[in-house]
A and B are shown apart, each in its own frame.
Chain A
């Protein structure tokens, strides 16, 4: 009988080599050869290189050799791994192993009244102005091994991890370390593994950035600042210096969802970078776009648990997105593999380490190949982290980091016995030479006819006893210690009470135990048990049933009213409609309109087109699509970057959210184009974005191609912070009065002129400033201003500043006292985009009147009604109707308030805003006069694509309900099979607007 030598942990204290030359030794040196030979093993040197009956020779920290039939030289400890496997040690590509907790309580408080504003970083030292930019942080400098965490990782088979500082936008450098219990000096594999980034400012105390668009702008500006820093002598800045030094190593960007990958990738393109993305594991939702980045990914295995869905009312709080995500999340790794995307797998983000293998096996069930899984946990992360020459596969000269397993690594019952980390052995499960599982026949005088079944997992065996003669069944307890076992059980009858047995392995083939025992009455007995065959059927039902891996399709957008297939442009002939042309023809009765290829093709009587889908529009009204000059829909994480008086550098176009249900709802209100504005928290806000309401597309595809560049200005109470809570002790953000507002503009435009001149000077190394760039564009007539405004004094002021500084104001938006300034606006050629009837919601609208639109219009100003609100946005036609109520504007002109006139303001009236051949086929079919409260939108076309259809919507709702019900049934089934569930979320809060946002 072969006995396996089991190492005890204490042996590891002995030193095996001279890596720590500089360290003194207390007592005689204990240097050992550290030579091991693992023989007869199935060695999976890499996913593509299995070696059967192989030998692995380890010398100290390094793999000396491996292969089949290698001779074992003298002086090696020989370990026979017959029937067992050796795999390369797994690498977790994304962890915070050994990192101190980021300090979370660092925000300066205002005596319990909230946070004090912080304008520039209070961090001591010559670092960046913004605390979220901390490239000077190095994981290598603060890493300290954590024995209990290391053990947790090793249990899952990991031998190496990347560890990083999980805090900030520029997070500094990470390290690749091994998971040994040695001095930190011994663990470092690569002390500059990668540079890390994110959009999340983490614990930074600086107010800026408060929004996603601010984070993006800050990172872009940092790239420009760092480039400038190289060639200047005036400023000393450790952060920028370190930022530059880190550019040559791999760049890892952590994002929170698939669309964030696309946003980060825009930055990558701008600065010629190639990021590796650490994601949330939901790439399946935008797979094509993800693949198109050509990037590598680090993905987690965070698959949601099924929800408790028994209470139908509570189950309503689970969104369709959450339901579908539960079903599709486990398909993500397989989907990435199928798409040919290079990715590593991390255990990061799992609630408990034990979930790792469960979830990985789930991913395998859902189609991830074992080969790819192994690569994603070995060679791919090794390559990402620049340590492929040291680990990731088993090869001569690489470090001796590997795992010994009982079976194929990915098999359900596989056991990880040992981790070897750089030649040091760590025992996970004691490596027994013999698996005891099987059926045995007991031979004993006192226990005639008893059979014994050992099942379960090595390390936690279960034993069951059965006597067929009198159908006795019992569950026993077995304890194993090396080759010695003890078993006790109660047969309840013949004899009653506990029988206790002790024995040892006496033969390996067939496996036989024998020993002594004591009956309940104290009688000594002898016993023997002989293997008769494999134990069938475990008690673990969960492991047996393959999960139902069928899943519904991915839909775009991923949630309510998304579709697996996006609609396409149609050729449509509207017959016999009342057509509101917004052209000199006016409102035409009984008229046909033909659209094709996304454009309006013809308008007239008795049109025909053989290929067209004919829509009988008798009794119905056809109007141009509604244009909303002032909207805040479809924005991700913050409509304001209000932390500074001027944030001209931030761009709404960077943070578009095409999955906002508001887009669909507004299509149902006939709205086809919107200008998405930055909020009004500061005098100069961010850059706006004109979008078309294309439901289901990617963020960049929402942008209207013909749109020009706009920027948001704002005046009055919001920019003064008048209605914000005052935090005692705060240094208030400038400006606090309408006097200060003027000076913000005067100063900014003055600086922009100086900046422009300085940049234009030959050989200048003037730092590129994204904020001033935008102001220069205004001065150059390339960027148009939409200015939030209320009272006449401030409106007058800005017109004076514009005149004196030489720029133009395109639009006053809100402009509720426009009626007091209409003559001056007309003289300046400024548009007025107002509310139909809003007032009394704050002091500066105490004299807002619903006749404002009519007066401005009558005075010759180009007038629009806007929404500034995702509810009102979907019935702007009715708001236009109020120009008839208040001021008796003609119906034809009133409709233009929400179609042609805003199109003119946005300088897109060449393409949208009226029904004219050649223009974009953005059309709405109404059941009645579009200005009437009774009008219902039947169809909405954007670029000739039917994005809203009343009948189709009803069918979609039905289909969605059925699909929800299907998934819920599946969740109940999963729960019944023993899956751990999570509670349904509480009632979704109404109005998910962000607190304190001024719009």
Chain B
């Protein structure tokens, strides 16, 4: 049986009008297979209230037997028990089920890459050249990507398509994952610029043969030169930002202006303790609002991070430790270490299609110290704070966008994750995707039943 059958629908005070949330599913079964039939949802036209659910607010709080109401895309009420007057609202009985804030996926190539290798034409995350602060991911974000619905159906509702490559890769925006085009998708535009901090990488096995006559630069010297160049660039950009009307407009520096007036954040890719310290002091010196991305050795410099209010977006808990000597579970334990140290931390997975595992990346840290609600906060409230969208999303609170979903079980665990209903800004999102369609198509060939 399809899992939607588990959701009981009640329409209080308008019994004659049968509202069915089975519609989306029926549609996908009856129509031709393929991606083309998965349409973005229509704006919310009437109030919806979910009742009887275990509601995970995202800030650590859990409401048992709770309700949540939303209208015109905004949360209007949330609490324990029966809930407010639901006159005219569609009611979803979610007794025994779980309600979560939509997961937020920062630092991703979702929508920028369709096929990783062998199809360069589908790759739009990396511009040529080293200094591209003006390159914007938003305009390259492909709302028709077949990958997006596969990620969305695991509860991920917002994402930050992020540029890669070079030293300054470009600037990112936050998008919501159910849109006709990038303009519709834009949730918060041009929020930050992405910088990769130079690393002194040592004795690789494949060392290039030294060019005769050319003095060998040590990795540390090379890195220092690159850091000097970055400092010079940023001080020039800062000075440029103070000029009311520059004689010659520099689009790169124009894009960087926001860094100096606080409207844009500086996302710095840095993993090593030394690089993190360098990046934090650099940002402090220039008065920038910095975010460390990666931070695999952030646990060694938590004092520096905390003292300067610099948050960390951890890249994957499901990765290998950097060094053979490290605790084999170190990446699993990193969130707990940052939690205890009082550093604000968020989480992302890697790439694009793998981001559907984001809830599990969060859940991974629970066996190694975090509470389940802390793990949830990591990919909801914390990510929202770090991206600067916490005023409108990240937790289930009155006045915030109705970005949420219902799962029959614990959404951070693969054996219980089962998203049955999803709303972005109150819009009822279609949960179908290419994979479900192919599952049905080929099960049908063999006469096998499907279980979605």
Contacts and interface: CB of A to CB of B under 8 A. Distances in A.
Contacts of A319: 323-325
Given A849-B435, A933-B364, A986-B219, A855 B327 contact: no
B21 interface: no
Nearest to B3: A888
B415 A849 contact: no
Nearest to A661: B324
A841 B360 contact: no
B353 A839 contact: yes
B414 A934 contact: no
B426 interface: no
A885 B417 contact: yes
B328 A855 contact: no
Contacts of A320: 324-325
B201 A987 contact: yes
Interface in B417-436: 417-418, 434-436
A819 interface: yes
Contact of A847 (B117, B205, B438): B438
B7 to A, nearest CB: 17
A934 B438 contact: no
A990 interface: yes
Contact of A987 (B199, B327, B417): B199
Interface string B367-407: 11000000000000000000000000000000000000000
B238 to A, nearest CB: 29
A837 B357 contact: yes
Interface string B195-228: 0000111111110000000000011100000000
A859 B448 CA distance: 8
Contacts of B116: 840-842
A584 to B, nearest CB: 23
Given A840-B353, A934-B367, A935-B367, A960 B325 contact: yes
Contacts of B194: none
A321 B417 CA distance: 43
B178 interface: no
Contacts of A855: 439, 442-443, 446, 448
A988 B415 contact: no
Interface string B282-314: 000000000000000000100000000000000
Contacts of A992: 205
A822 B445 CA distance: 10
B333 to A, nearest CB: 11
A985 B273 CA distance: 15
Contacts of B327: 957
A320 B324 CA distance: 8
A995 interface: yes
Contact of A317 (B202, B415, B438): B202
Nearest to A859: B446
B324 A928 contact: no
Given A855-B448, A983-B218, A987-B199, A560 B442 contact: no
A705 interface: no
Interface in B107-134: 114-119
Given A850-B435, A870-B320, A933-B360, A840 B147 contact: yes
B329 interface: yes
Contacts of B204: 989
A848 to B, nearest CB: 9
Contact of A717 (B118, B272, B413, B445): B118
B118 to A, nearest CB: 5
B38 interface: no
Contacts of A722: 118
Given A888-B451, A995-B206, A849 B118 contact: no
Interface in A953-999: 953, 957, 960, 964, 983-992, 995
Interface in B50-92: none
Contacts of A842: 115-119
Contacts of B445: 823
B324 A990 contact: no
Nearest to B442: A819
Contacts of B328: 664-665, 668, 874, 953
A843 B438 contact: no
Interface centre among B273, B329, B415 (most CB of A within 10 A): B415
B136 interface: no
A850 B114 CA distance: 17
Interface centre among A560, A665, A875, A932 (most CB of B within 10 A): A932
Contacts of B329: 668
Nearest to B435: A849
A986 B323 CA distance: 13
A891 B327 CA distance: 30
A846 interface: yes
Contacts of B106: none
A126 B164 CA distance: 53
A316 B115 contact: no
B319 A313 contact: no
A316 B201 contact: no
Nearest to B319: A871
Contacts of B272: 313, 987
A251 B95 CA distance: 79
A560 B323 CA distance: 9
B199 A846 contact: no
A767 interface: no
Nearest to B451: A888
B267 interface: no
Contacts of A987: 199-202, 272, 274
A986 B322 contact: no
B429 to A, nearest CB: 19
Given A927-B367, A960-B325, A884 B318 contact: no
22 contacts: A313-B274, A319-B325, A320-B324, A560-B324, A665-B328, A722-B118, A723-B118, A840-B352, A849-B434, A849-B438, A851-B436, A858-B443, A859-B448, A871-B319, A885-B417, A927-B367, A953-B328, A957-B327, A964-B325, A983-B218, A987-B272, A989-B202
Given A851-B443, A858-B448, 15 more contacts: A313-B300, A321-B324, A723-B117, A822-B442, A823-B445, A838-B353, A842-B117, A846-B115, A847-B434, A851-B435, A881-B415, A929-B415, A933-B412, A933-B415, A934-B366
Interface of A: 313-314, 316-317, 319-321, 559-561, 661, 664-665, 668, 717, 722-723, 819-820, 822-823, 837-843, 846-847, 849-851, 854-855, 858-859, 870-872, 874-875, 878, 881-882, 884-888, 891, 927-929, 931-936, 953, 957, 960, 964, 983-992, 995
8 shortest interchain CB distances as A-B pairs? A986-B202, A985-B202, A933-B363, A851-B439, A986-B219, A888-B451, A560-B324, A881-B414
